[in-house]
Amino acid sequence: MTQESVKFEAQKRILWRLESYLQKLNGVSVTTSAPRAEGLSCLLHPIIPSPVINGYRNKSTFSVNRGPDGNPKTVGYYLGTWRDRSIVCVWSNHLKNIPEKHNQVAQYYEVFLRQSPVEPCLLFHEGGYWRELIVRTNSQGHTMAIITFHPQELRQEDLNVQKEAVKKFFTTGPGAVCDLSSLYFQESTMTRCSHQQSPYQLLFGEPHLFEDLLGLKICISPDAFFQINTAGAEVLYRTVRELSGVNSNTILLDICCGTGVIGVSLAQYASQVLGIELVEQAVEDARRTAAFNGITNCEFHAGRAEKILPQLLKSKEDGHFIVAVVNPARAGLHYQVVQAIRNCRAIRTLIFVSCKPHGETTRNIIE
């Protein structure tokens, strides 16, 4: 059984459970005269494969922990479980979806850690400093590395010493072979920390990566969300365009727009694009991308969609046809966003992009 057929059957089961729940909830059968898949009341298209399936990741996060030899300064991915206390950190060379460049940067980060007198931070309460590494690349081969560091009780001058040490290693030391386009440093006392909580500090290089996608240059900041498979993302966004039916008489509403890729890629077909995103830096990236590509019919708003959306829709409802695209995080849409979408009669088409259709997406559809 191919991977595509396995995924197709999985999506079919999700839709079947959703239909069963809706029928029970409403007390009526779901009927339609439109084409439909066997056993379903709707049409389920075949899975569309990505044109690239090996080495496709444009972003990888590497952990620091004990390796098979017990060395706590090992950089890689976890095997085992925390419950069984069997966690071990192993190199990622055997993983087919990780590009060689990402593995190279991870291995040289490990070299740096093993020559550093400063200990890694394996558990926050046990102390230590050096933490995970994030590597981002684009199709032109440019590479951004982001190193996370737990400051503990270090004085600023001691922090500066560590920043200078890692900068020197990757610019003039052994790590220079990685040919990084930029190196960022983030002081973080939490498992995950946004730019607003603790700013990314550029140690050297360009502040952004630019990726080619559908003939556009997309601006990517250190913590900006971008689809992990660029070639697969192009297939996804072409599909969104086909399903949306966007034309010159349409306003495209891009909810949870991230760096604005969907809106920017469809702007040439729409009358206007309105994007909403919680992460302010992502909105800055979206505006920068639109400006860089000479796109003038896009507006991007930073804030909570449930607060911005009702007023935005109210000002655009008169005589306009609206196509809404939602691409939320795994937590799904806030119920007030769902309510605002339902209350807007001008929305004629809704495209829901989800990486986890069996989770909160199902809840949102029911709402």
Residue listed under structure tokens 């005589």: 319
- Would you state the structure tokens that stand for residue 298, as one six-digit string? 């896009």
| Helix (H) and strand (E) counts in the chain | 9, 14
Q: Is 222:200 a contact under the CB 8 Å cutoff?
A: yes
341 or 315: which leads in pLDDT: 341
CATH number of 223-366: 3.40.50.150
pLDDT digits (tens, 9 = 90+) for 185-212: 999 888 777 777 889 999 999 999 999 9
Q: How many angstroms separate the CA atoms of 186 and 201, rounded?
A: 6
Q: Which residues are annotated as a binding site?
A: 227, 277, 327
SS3 322: strand
Q: Which residues are annotated as a binding site for S-adenosyl-L-methionine?
A: 227, 277, 327
pLDDT digits (tens, 9 = 90+) for 287-327: 999 999 999 999 999 988 888 877 787 766 566 788 999 98
Handedness of CA 332, 336, 352, 278 (dihedral sign): negative
Nearest C-alpha neighbor of 301 from the set 331, 273, 266, 334: 273
pLDDT digits (tens, 9 = 90+) for 87-97: 899 999 999 99
**Distance, first Cα to last Cα, the chain:** 35
Q: How far is CA 95 from CA 10, 92, 144, 244, 250, in A?
A: 24, 5, 20, 36, 43
Q: 248, exposed or middle or buried, with CB in 10 Å at 0-12, 13-18, 19+?
A: exposed
Q: How many angstroms separate the CA atoms of 20 and 6, rounded?
A: 21
Radius of gyration of the chain (CA): 23
**Positions of E strands within the chain:** 59-65, 74-79, 88-90, 130-137, 143-149, 182-187, 201-205, 209-213, 216-220, 250-255, 272-277, 298-302, 321-326, 347-352
Q: What integer pLDDT is reported at residue 10 of this predicted model? A: 86
pLDDT digits (tens, 9 = 90+) for 216-270: 999 999 988 889 999 999 999 999 999 999 988 889 999 989 889 999 999 999 9
Residue 178 a catalytic site member? no
Catalytic site residue from 42, 256, 298, 355: 355
Domain 59-207 = CATH 1.10.645.10: no
Amino acid at the residue 185:
F
Share of the chain above pLDDT 90, in %: 58
